[in-house]
Amino acid sequence: MDFDFSDEQMQLRDAVQRWAERSYGFERRRAIAAAGGFDTNVWRELTELGLTGLTIPTAHGGMGLGAVEAMVAHEALGASLLLEPLLPLHVAAAVLQHHADAAAQAAWLPRMAEGTLVVLAHVERHGHHRLDACTTTAVADGATWRLSGRKHVVPAGDHAAAWLVPARLDGALALFGVERGAPGTSVTGYPTQDGSRAAEVVLDNAPGQLVCRDGAAALAWAQDVGIALVAAQAVGVMDRTLALTLEYLNTRKQFGVPIGSFQALRHRAADMKMALELARGMSMYASLRLATPEAQRRQALARTKVQVGQSMRFVGQQAVQLHGGIGVTDEYLVSHCFKRLTQLELTFGDTLHHLGEVAARMTDEAGVAA
Amino acid sequence: MDFDFSDEQMQLRDAVQRWAERSYGFERRRAIAAAGGFDTNVWRELTELGLTGLTIPTAHGGMGLGAVEAMVAHEALGASLLLEPLLPLHVAAAVLQHHADAAAQAAWLPRMAEGTLVVLAHVERHGHHRLDACTTTAVADGATWRLSGRKHVVPAGDHAAAWLVPARLDGALALFGVERGAPGTSVTGYPTQDGSRAAEVVLDNAPGQLVCRDGAAALAWAQDVGIALVAAQAVGVMDRTLALTLEYLNTRKQFGVPIGSFQALRHRAADMKMALELARGMSMYASLRLATPEAQRRQALARTKVQVGQSMRFVGQQAVQLHGGIGVTDEYLVSHCFKRLTQLELTFGDTLHHLGEVAARMTDEAGVAA
Amino acid sequence: MDLAFTPEERAFRDEVRAWIAAHLDPAVAAKVHAGLRLSKDDIQGWARTLGRQGWLAYRWPRAFGGPGWTPVQQHLFDEALAEAGAPPILPFGPVMVAPVIMAFGTPEQQQRFLPGIASGEVWWCQGYSEPGSGSDLASLRTRAERDGDHYIVNGQKTWTTLAQHADWIFCLVRTSTEGKPQTGISFLLIDMKSPGVTVRPIRLLDGEYEVNEVWFDNVRVPADNLIGEENKGWTYAKYLLSHERANIADVNRAKRELKRLKRLAQAEGRWDDARLRDQIAALEVDIVALEMLVLRVLAAETSGKPALDIAALLKIRGSEIQQRLAELMMHVAGPLALPYLEPALEGTWTEPYPGGDPALAPLAPRYFNLRKTTIYGGSNEVQRNIVAQTLLG
Amino acid sequence: MDLAFTPEERAFRDEVRAWIAAHLDPAVAAKVHAGLRLSKDDIQGWARTLGRQGWLAYRWPRAFGGPGWTPVQQHLFDEALAEAGAPPILPFGPVMVAPVIMAFGTPEQQQRFLPGIASGEVWWCQGYSEPGSGSDLASLRTRAERDGDHYIVNGQKTWTTLAQHADWIFCLVRTSTEGKPQTGISFLLIDMKSPGVTVRPIRLLDGEYEVNEVWFDNVRVPADNLIGEENKGWTYAKYLLSHERANIADVNRAKRELKRLKRLAQAEGRWDDARLRDQIAALEVDIVALEMLVLRVLAAETSGKPALDIAALLKIRGSEIQQRLAELMMHVAGPLALPYLEPALEGTWTEPYPGGDPALAPLAPRYFNLRKTTIYGGSNEVQRNIVAQTLLG
C-alpha cells in the first residue's frame, strides 16, 4: 500500500502547474471564456506539452501513462480551471483503447495524441444520467452505418474532428464514430456555465463507423474513466478554492479583526478541509480501482462520485459564502471555482444518481476492499 | 387567522404546569421510572385534574375539549416528561368517539374519563410504521369475535383495562376491543427507553368486540391524532431542553469564560431555536388540520411528523452535545429529554416513513393551504 | 386559534387577484414564472401600474397615502402578486427609505419624496455597504462635509443593487469621526444625476449586472436632503432594520417556485424518480413549516400583541429555502442545465434551442445568483449572531 | 501508488486471523457482534490472552517487548480483531500511559510498570478530567503536595472510564500554582488500592456504569511514582496526544458495524426499503472515504514521510460515523427498539422475549451511549478548533 507519488509523477504535476501559472492566468482564461470557451493556441500548447497523448500508448505516439498519472495531471489542470476539453479527449482515448479494434485505434489514437479532438457524445434529453437512455438509432448501410438522433452538451463538440456516438443497433446499444462535417451531421456550439464549450449534435442519417457492438460496456467504461478524471479535477479545484478562502479569511477585516478569527467561520473552514480530504482519498481510490473487474470498478466509481459530489457542492457553496459579496461577482476567481465545481458535479452522473448506483450495488461487505 | 390562546386555554396550560412543578419533579419521575414506569398515584392525580377526560364529550363525563386544548395540555405534559400514558388514552378516546357506535362509546368513554385506561395495540413485528402491516386475525364466533396475534410496544399495555386491536376480518382490517384478562390473552409489561411502560400483548383465540369494520380509517385517524399529540409533547420537551441548554451555556465556564460565549456554540443554540420554532408552528398546523377531510388531514399530519421528527433529533442530539460529559449521564435531566425525544420520533411512524407519505401525497400545489 | 382566513379576508384576496389578473402583462408574468431576466421596463412598468392603483405602497399607513391594509391583507396581496408571477416590488423606495422619511423626515421632505415612491416614478437605491464595510457597517468611510447649505460627499459605496437604473440613492455617510464609529453617521438622500456621481455595474457570477459600485467625487448635496439630525443616521438605519417584517422570508415566492419545481420535474419526466421526489417532498415540508412561522408572525401583528422576535429566523430559513429550490431545479435539468445562452436568459431566443429546452436555460444561473441570499441583508452568520444574542445575551 | 497490500502483508493477515479464530471465545465474539454489554472478565480475559501472545502491546517497539510491527501490520491486526468481534483493547494502559513511561519514565519505572500492561494483568485508568475542567484541562485543581518521599494527593477526577475495575490510575495533578496554569502540572501514577481513594460509578443515559468519579483524600503516593520531572506533566500529556494515530478513527469497527447494520436491515425485512437503503448506501460511502483517509495516514507513516496532519479530521469523521451507524440501526428496528430490558443488554435473557427479537434490545442504548464519541477525547468542537488552527493560524 502506497500513496506516494513517484518522481516522474511529481515532475508531470510540476510541468502542468508551471504551464498553468505562466500561461493560464485569470485574465487569459476570462478572455477565452468570453470568446466562446476554446482557444486553439492553448490547445496547441497542451499538445506540445504532450498532454493530449498523456494516456495514449507510446506505440500510437502518446506518452503511454496510466490512471495515476492521468489523476496527477488532471488535479493540476483542475486547479487551473482549464476550459479546454482535455478531459473529454482522455475519456474518448480510453474508450478507443479498450473497445475499438486495432485498425480504429491506429486510425485515431496517433491523431489524438497530436491534438485532434475526439469526444464522447452521449447525453440525450430526458436521459437523466442513465447510460441506457439512448434513442439515437443506427441502421446498417452496406459496410457502414447510418445514424439518426440528437446529442446534447457534447464537450467542445463543434471543435471535435469526430464524435463517439452511442446508438441503438437492432435494439442494443452500440458505439459509433461519426466525423464532424459528414453529410447529415449538424452541430451548434455554445458556451457552458463555467465558460467552457459544448455543442448540440444532430444526426440525420449520418454515416458512422462501428467502434464496438457492446456499447453498454463501452459507455460504462467511459463514464468510470470520466468519473476518475472528474474527481481528480475536482480535487484540484477544491484545493485552490480552499486556499483562496483561507487567504481571504485571514485578509478581510470586519469589526477590526480578520474574519478568520470568528469561530463559526473557522469551523466552516475546517469542514471544507474535511470535504477536500475525503474527496482526495476517493480520487486516489477511483484511479486505483479503474483496472479492477467491472462490478468492483463500477461500485468504486459510483462511491467516488457520491463523495466527490458532496464535497464539491459543500466546498463551492461555502467558499462563496465565506467570501461574502465578492464571492458572487464575476470579477473574482472564487465564483469561477464554484461554477466549475457545479459543472463537474453534473458531469457523468450527479450525486443522487450515483447514490442510487451505490445502493443498487451494495453487498453484505464493507470497506474499501469490499 | 389567529394563533393566540384563549384565556381558558392558558388556564388549562397553567393548571398542568402547576401540577407538574409541584408533583412531577425529577426525583419522583426517576423513582417512577425505576419502579417500572407507571404510578397509580400520578394516574389518580391526572384523573382528578380532569385530564383523562380532557377530550371526552361532557355527555360522557369528560371536559369535552378540542384539538387545540389537547395540544395545549400535551405541550405542558411534554415539558414535564410525563411517563404515564395520557397520550395513548387520548388517542384511544378519539378513535372511540369517531369510529365506535353509541353503545360502545357509552360503555367505555365515561370509564375512561374516570381513569380507566384503554390503549391502541397496533404495532406488529416487521410492521415498519405501515398501518396496513397487520397479521393478527379475527374470526366471527356467534355474536363475538375471536382474535389471534401478537402486538408489540403497547403503551402501558399491562395497566390497560382493554386494548383497541386492529385485526384482519375476512382479509380486511377491522378494529376490536379486547379486555385484559379475558381468556386467551396474555400480557408482558416492560419499561421502555425513556422510562415509561409498554407491553407485549399475545392473543390466542381471545374474545373481542367489534369496534368498527373500517379498521384502516380508524387506524389512520388514530395515527393522525397521535401525531398531533406527539408534536405537542415534542414542542414541550424541546422548549424545556433548549431552556436547559441555554442555562448551561451561560453557567458552565471553560478557559475562564462561559461556554455560551463561543460563536460555534452560539450558532448551534440559534439552530436549536430554529428547529423548535419550526416544530411549534407545525404542531399548531397539525392540531388545526385534524378536522379537515381525510386527504388534507393525512398530508398535513405526515408533513408535521417530518418536521417535528427532524427538529426532535437535532434538538435532542445537540442538547447532549452542548452539555458535554454531563449530557450523557442519567443524573442530569437533559439525557432524559433526549431519550424522550428519541422515543417520540419512533412513535406513530418515524421521519423517513412520513417523508414517504408526504412524497406519495404530493400535489402540484404548495403551501399550508395546499 | 384558527388557521382559516375570515370571509372578508377571502373576499379581499379574490378582489386583488382579479385586479392583478386584469392588469399584469401576461408576457411579463410568463418571464417571471420561467425565471427569466427582467428588464428595467418590466419592473418599473409594473410598479407604475401598482402605483396608479395606490397599491405599490401597500404597506404604508393611510396617513401617507397607503391603503391601510391589515398585516393579513398585506400578506394576501403579496401572495397574490407572487402566485400571479408579478415582477418583484423593489424594496428600496417603498419599504426601506419611505418608512424612514415618514418617521424622521420633515413634512416638506415627506411631500417631496413620498409621492414619487408611491407612484413608482422614482427609482431608489440603497447606499450602505462600502468596500471595507460589509457586515461591519459602522466602519463606513464615505464622508459628507458641511459647506454652507450643502454637504460635499466623497467616497465609495458598493453592492448597490440596480443603481444603474436609479434616480436617487439613500446613503449612510460619515459626518463626524468623533466618538464611537456609530455616532458620526448621517442619513442623506442624493440625486443620482448630481455631478460627481459615477456608477459602475458589477458583473455577477451569473452574467447579470445587478449590483454596482457608486463613487462620489465632491458631490454637492443640498443640506435639505439630510433626514433627521446630523450624526443620528445609525439610529434611523436601525429603525429600518427593526421595521422588516414577515415578508423577509419571501415565503410566497417560495411557494410559487415550489410549484415551478414540480412543473419542471413533471416536464422533464422526473416526477416518478423516487429519490428526487423525496427531496422535493422534504422541501415542501420546509416551506410549509416556514409559512406557519410567517403566519404566526402575521397573526401576532394583527392581534396587536408583541410580534414574535423571530425576524432573524425568517431571514435564515427563507434564504436557505430559496437556495435549495434553485439547487433542486438545476438538478432536475441535470447536464441540460449546462448550456449558457444569454438570449435564452432574456427570453429573446428565437432559433431552435440547442440546449434541449429554453425553459432550462435560467436554472443554473439562478442557482448561482441566489447564493447571494444568505450573504446580503445581513449574512446568515450575522443573523445567527442576532438569534444567539436574544437567547444567550 | 498502490492500494493493494503486499503478499507479506496478506500472509501476516492470514496468520493473525487464524490465531484470533483459534483463541477468541465464540460466546464473547457473539456478544460483540450483537452489541451486548461486556463484563470485566470478557474484556480482561481477552487482554490476557493477547498478552500471553505478546500482542496486547502490539503497537510497542521491540525494545519494550512489542512485536515491532509496521503501521500497516498494526492496522491489519486491528482490522482482524474488529472483524472477528474481539472485545476492545482498552487504551489506558498499552496506548496511553505506556508510551509516556517509555519516553519519560526511569528504567526502574519501565521495568516496574510495562510488563503488567503488556500482559493485561494490570488494569489502568486515566485521571485527567475534573468537574471544573473538561476541554480546558489546564484548569485542573487536584493537588499533590510533597511530603518527604511522598506526595499527598487531594482532589477529584471525573469521567474516569472503568475506574471501578482499575488497579492503577495515571493522573495529571497540580504541584505548583505559579506561572501559567499549564506549568504547575505533574504526571503521577497512583495505586487505586491506596487508602483515601474513593470511586463512585456514574450511571450513564443508557443505564450502564462506564465512567466514575474518583476522589483523593490525603492519598499518600510514593514520589517514585512521579513520571519525569515535577511540573512537566503538561508536556507529557501533549506528547501523548500527538502520539494518537490513524486508529483514532476506529474505521475497522465502523466496517464491522456497517455489516451488522446490513444484517439487521435484512433480518428486519427492510433491505428492500429504498429510502432506508439509500441512507445505508450514503453511510457506506462515508466509511469508504474514511478508510481511504486512514490508509493514506498509514501509508505515509510506513514510507517514513511526515504523517498527514489530519488526526483531528479522523477523530471528527470517525465519531460522526459511529453515531450515524448506531442511529440507523435503531431506525431499522423502529418502535421495536423501544423496550428496555436490562438482561437482554447483558445477553442473559432466557425467557421468551417480549420485545420482538432480543437482537434489537441493544440498539437504542447504543445510540444513546455513542453520543459520547463526539464529546470525549477532545470534543469535536475542540477538534474543529485544532483543524482551523492548522489552516488559519
Average pLDDT over residues C367-378: 94
A123 at interface of D, judged by CB pairs closer than 8 A: no
Q: Which three cell numbers stand for residue A147?
A: 445514424
Do the Cβ atoms of D381 and B262 come within 8 Å? yes
Find residue C150's DSSP bridge partners.
C147, C222
Do the Cβ atoms of D280 and A365 come within 8 Å? no
pLDDT of residue C132: 83
Q: Given a cut of 60, is residue D244 above it in pLDDT?
A: no
Do the Cβ atoms of C313 and B364 come within 8 Å? no
Query: Given pLDDT bands bounded at 50, 70 and 90, which one contains residue D263?
Result: very high
When computed from its CA atoms, the radius of gyration of chain A, rounded to whole angstroms, is: 21
D281 at interface of C, judged by CB pairs closer than 8 A: no
pLDDT of residue B355: 98
Do the Cβ atoms of C259 and B273 come within 8 Å? no
pLDDT of residue C238: 85
Residue with cell 460511502: D285
Q: Which residues, 6 or more positions from B234, have their beta carbon under 8 angstroms from its beta carbon?
A: B78, B279, B283, B308, B311, B312, B341, B344
- Catalytic residue chosen out of the listed positions C244, C257, C268, C327: C244
Do the Cβ atoms of A281 and D284 come within 8 Å? no
- State the amino acid at position A151 in one-letter form: K
* Strands in B52-196 per DSSP E: 118-120, 137-141, 144-155, 162-169, 172-179, 185-191
Average pLDDT over residues D30-55: 97
Q: Given a cut of 90, is residue B145 above it in pLDDT?
A: yes
Residue C228 DSSP class? S
B289 at interface of C, judged by CB pairs closer than 8 A: yes
pLDDT of residue D304: 74
pLDDT of residue D35: 95
A10 at interface of D, judged by CB pairs closer than 8 A: no
pLDDT of residue A1: 82
The per-residue pLDDT for range B200-230, each reduced to its tens digit, is 999 999 999 999 999 999 999 999 999 999 9
The CB-side HSE value for A275 (13 A sphere, CA atoms) comes to 27
Average pLDDT over residues D148-169: 97
**CA distance linking residue B285 with residue B299, whole number of Å:** 11
pLDDT of residue C138: 85
Q: How far is the alpha carbon of A53 from chain C, nearest alpha carbon, in Å?
A: 27
* Mean of pLDDT over chain A: 97
B331 at interface of C, judged by CB pairs closer than 8 A: no
Average pLDDT over residues D63-67: 94
Q: How far is the alpha carbon of C83 from chain A, nearest alpha carbon, in Å?
A: 28
**CA distance linking residue B359 with residue B361, whole number of Å:** 5
Percent of chain B scoring above 70 in pLDDT: 100
Among B1, B250, B260, select the one facing C72 at the smallest CB separation.
B1
A308 at interface of C, judged by CB pairs closer than 8 A: no
Residues of C in contact with B271 (CB under 8 A): 384
* Strands in D166-231 per DSSP E: 168-174, 185-191, 197-203, 209-222, 226-227
Which chains have 3+ CB pairs within 8 A of C? A, B, D
pLDDT of residue D1: 85
Q: Which three cell numbers stand for residue A188?
A: 451548434
* Residue spans of alpha helices (H) in chain A: 7-23, 26-34, 40-48, 67-79, 86-99, 102-113, 215-251, 263-289, 294-323, 333-345, 351-360
Among C5, C280, C387, select the one facing B270 at the smallest CB separation.
C387
Among C286, C293, C299, select the one facing B2 at the smallest CB separation.
C299
**CA distance linking residue C32 with residue C88, whole number of Å:** 9
Do the Cβ atoms of C337 and A193 come within 8 Å? yes
- CATH code: domain B7-113 is 1.10.540.10
The CB-side HSE value for B271 (13 A sphere, CA atoms) comes to 20
**CA distance linking residue D95 with residue D75, whole number of Å:** 14
pLDDT of residue A129: 92
Higher pLDDT, D1 or C276: C276
Higher pLDDT, B369 or D372: D372
pLDDT of residue C306: 64
Residue B172 DSSP class? E
For residue D343, the surrounding DSSP H or E stretch is helix D342-346
Which chains have 3+ CB pairs within 8 A of A? B, C, D
Q: Considering the entire predicted model, what is its pTM?
A: 0.97
**Chain centre distance of CA C300:** 23
- State the amino acid at position C265 in one-letter form: A
Q: How far is the alpha carbon of A361 from chain B, nearest alpha carbon, in Å?
A: 22
Annotated domain spans of chain B: 7-113, 118-213, 218-366
The per-residue pLDDT for range C328-363, each reduced to its tens digit, is 999 999 999 999 999 999 988 888 999 889 999 999
Q: How far is the alpha carbon of D107 from chain A, nearest alpha carbon, in Å?
A: 37
Q: Given a cut of 90, is residue D104 above it in pLDDT?
A: yes
A270 at interface of B, judged by CB pairs closer than 8 A: no
**Chain centre distance of CA A179:** 22
Residues of B in contact with D271 (CB under 8 A): none
Residues of D that are catalytic: 244
Nearest CA in chain D to A282: D289
**CA distance linking residue A305 with residue A286, whole number of Å:** 9
The CATH superfamily label for domain A118-213 reads Butyryl-CoA Dehydrogenase, subunit A, domain 2 (2.40.110.10)
Q: How far is the alpha carbon of A280 from chain D, nearest alpha carbon, in Å?
A: 9
**Chain centre distance of CA D376:** 10
Within 10 angstroms of residue D194's Cβ, the number of other Cβ atoms is 16
Contact between D23 and D49 (Cβ < 8 Å): yes
Within 10 angstroms of residue B291's Cβ, the number of other Cβ atoms is 10
The per-residue pLDDT for range C108-158, each reduced to its tens digit, is 999 999 999 999 999 999 999 999 887 788 889 999 999 999 999 999 999
b/e map B113-149, b = 16+ CB within 10 Å: bebbbbbbbbbbbebbbebeebebbbeeeeeebbbbb
Of B116, B109, B114, nearest in space to B95 by CA = B109
Within 10 angstroms of residue A17's Cβ, the number of other Cβ atoms is 16
Q: How far is the alpha carbon of B262 from chain A, nearest alpha carbon, in Å?
A: 7
Average pLDDT over residues D140-145: 96
Q: Which of B1, B284, B296 to probe by mutation at the C interface, max C CB count within 10 Å?
A: B1
Per CATH, A7-113 and A118-213 having the same topology is answered no
Q: Which of B30, B124, B128, B332 to probe by mutation at the D interface, max D CB count within 10 Å?
A: B128
Q: Which three cell numbers stand for residue D235?
A: 508536556
The per-residue pLDDT for range D32-43, each reduced to its tens digit, is 999 999 999 999
Q: How many CB pairs under 8 A join B and C?
A: 149
pLDDT of residue C307: 62
Decide: residue B53, CB within 10 A, 0-12 exposed, 13-18 middle, 19+ buried. Answer: buried
Q: How far is the alpha carbon of B237 from chain A, nearest alpha carbon, in Å?
A: 27
Class of domain B218-366: mainly alpha
Within 10 angstroms of residue C389's Cβ, the number of other Cβ atoms is 12
Query: Given pLDDT bands bounded at 50, 70 and 90, which one contains residue D377?
Result: confident
Nearest CA in chain C to D276: C275
Collapsing DSSP to helix, strand or coil, D143 comes out as strand
Q: How far is the alpha carbon of D133 from chain C, nearest alpha carbon, in Å?
A: 22
Residues of C in contact with B73 (CB under 8 A): none
Average pLDDT over residues B314-318: 98
For residue C135, the surrounding DSSP H or E stretch is none
Residue D194 DSSP class? S
Q: Given a cut of 70, is residue C276 above it in pLDDT?
A: yes
Percent of chain C scoring above 90 in pLDDT: 85
Q: Given a cut of 60, is residue C244 above it in pLDDT?
A: no
Between positions 251 and 280 of C, the ones with CB within 8 A of D are 274-275, 278
Do the Cβ atoms of D203 and B329 come within 8 Å? yes
Q: Which phi and psi (to 5°) does residue D337 adopt? A: -80, -5
pLDDT of residue B211: 97
* Mean of pLDDT over chain B: 97
The per-residue pLDDT for range C17-72, each reduced to its tens digit, is 999 999 999 999 999 999 999 999 999 999 999 999 999 999 999 999 999 999 89
Of B311, B287, B286, nearest in space to B301 by CA = B286
pLDDT of residue D68: 93
Q: Given a cut of 60, is residue B279 above it in pLDDT?
A: yes
Find residue C185's DSSP bridge partners.
C174
Q: Given a cut of 80, is residue C245 above it in pLDDT?
A: no
Query: Given pLDDT bands bounded at 50, 70 and 90, which one contains residue D238?
Result: confident
Write the DSSP assignment of A176-231 as a string of letters: EEEETTSTTEEEEEEEBTTS-EEEEEEEEEEEEEEEES-HHHHHHHHHHHHHHHHH
Q: Which domains does chain C have, with CATH numbers?
A: 7-89 (no CATH), 124-230 (2.40.110.10), 248-392 (1.20.140.10)
Between positions 190 and 219 of B, the ones with CB within 8 A of C are none
For residue A151, the surrounding DSSP H or E stretch is strand A144-155
**CA distance linking residue A310 with residue D46, whole number of Å:** 41
Do the Cβ atoms of C334 and A350 come within 8 Å? yes
Q: Is the dihedral of CA A16, A19, A25, A31 positive or negative?
A: negative
| 3-state helix/strand/coil string of chain D | CECCCCHHHHHHHHHHHHHHHHHCCHHHHHHHHHCCCCCHHHHHHHHHHHHHHCCCCCCCCHHHCCCCCCHHHHHHHHHHHHHHCCCCCCCHHHHHHHHHHHHHCCHHHHHHHHHHHHHCCCCEEEECCECCECCCHHHCCCEEEEECCEEEEEEEECCCCCHHHCCEEEEEEECCCCCCHHHHEEEEEEECCCCCEEEEEEEECCCCEEEEEEEEEEEEEEHHHEECCCCCHHHHHHHHHHCCCHHHHCHHHHHHHHHHHHHHHHHCCCCCCHHHHHHHHHHHHHHHHHHHHHHHHHHHHHCCCCCCCCHHHHHHHHHHHHHHHHHHHHHHHHHHHCECCHHHHHCCCCCCCCCCCHHHCCHHHHHHHHHHHHCCCCCHHHHHHHHHHHHHC
Find residue D191's DSSP bridge partners.
D168
Considering only A64-78, B351-365, D301-315, which range has the smallest mean pLDDT?
D301-315
**Chain centre distance of CA D70:** 21
Q: Which residues, 6 or more positions from D106, have their beta carbon under 8 angstroms from its beta carbon?
A: none
Of A145, A163, A161, A146, nearest in space to A201 by CA = A163
Bridging pattern class, strands C226-227 and D150-157: unpaired
Q: Given a cut of 80, is residue C241 above it in pLDDT?
A: no
The CB-side HSE value for B129 (13 A sphere, CA atoms) comes to 25
Residues of D in contact with B356 (CB under 8 A): 275
Q: Given a cut of 80, is residue D382 above it in pLDDT?
A: yes
| Helices and strands (H and E) in chain C: how many | 13, 8
Residues of B in contact with C384 (CB under 8 A): 266-267, 270-271
Considering only A256-270, C298-312, D70-84, D96-110, which range has the smallest mean pLDDT?
C298-312
Residues of A in contact with B262 (CB under 8 A): 263
The verdict on whether C351 is a catalytic residue reads: no
Average pLDDT over residues A294-311: 97
**CA distance linking residue C268 with residue D314, whole number of Å:** 41
Residues of A in contact with D313 (CB under 8 A): 273-274, 277
The CB-side HSE value for C267 (13 A sphere, CA atoms) comes to 14
Residues of A in contact with B264 (CB under 8 A): 263-264, 266-267
Query: Given pLDDT bands bounded at 50, 70 and 90, which one contains residue C298?
Result: confident
Q: Which phi and psi (to 5°) does residue B294 adopt? A: -55, -45
Residues of B in contact with C9 (CB under 8 A): 1
Nearest CA in chain D to A357: D281
**CA distance linking residue B233 with residue B235, whole number of Å:** 5
